[in-house]
Amino acid sequence: MGRSLNCPQCRHEQVLRARPLSASERVAAIFLLSPFSCQHCSCRFLASRIGLDRPRHPIDRREHLRIPVRLYLSFSGGKVRGEGTVLDLSMGGCIIRSETQVRVDDIFYLEIATGSHEQPLEVAAMVRSVSPRGIAFKFLRAAQENKRLLAFIQAQTADHLQKSTALAVPVKS
């Protein structure tokens, strides 16, 4: 069993190995140091990858963990209005399914319904890509700046990680 890794800033275990972004991070790789990104507070840090649990820390080209969800969403920008379903959500953006025609780099105001008794989450986002899977949005402001969005994503992340850990626990016979 390998060692686990905690964020040096907030001490949470929810970290993902990230791709090196700078020359210093690439040089650090020579010494078996890799960049990691905390899913709780978005802190980026270097840590030794020696002895880490391999499946827990694969390199991911995404900076944030995607959480599968099914949430209603409406969006508007310019003369375009639409609605759809949020398929996954992260601190950096979301992927939605919608019949509305949009273009890459269009900017929209999203309203994501999280529950019947709560106000929708409101966030500005830019279309990153349009594919058969859906429309990928990048949030224009970091989730940390929107306290309700941050709290919702952190709660969903904790639930998701708890469910995936429960599935990985071997059953004794």
pLDDT tens track for 154-165: 787 766 666 654
Question: Which pLDDT does position 146 carry in this prediction?
Answer: 76
Low-confidence ranges of the chain (pLDDT < 70): 1-2, 53-64, 116, 142-145, 158-173
Q: How far is CA 58 from CA 25, 55, 94, 127, in A?
A: 17, 6, 21, 27
Q: What is the pLDDT of residues 66-89, one digit of tens each?
A: 788 999 999 999 889 999 999 998
d(CA 88, CA 64): 11
Report CA dihedral (162, 122, 130, 44) to the nearest 10 degrees.
-50
130 CB neighbour count, 10 Å cutoff: 15
Give the pTM: 0.62
Q: Where are the domains of the chain?
A: 1-62, 67-159
Please give the order of strands across the beta sheet that includes 33-38: 15-17, 33-38, 44-48
Question: Which pLDDT does position 173 carry in this prediction?
Answer: 42
CATH topology of domain 67-159: Thrombin, subunit H (2.40.10)
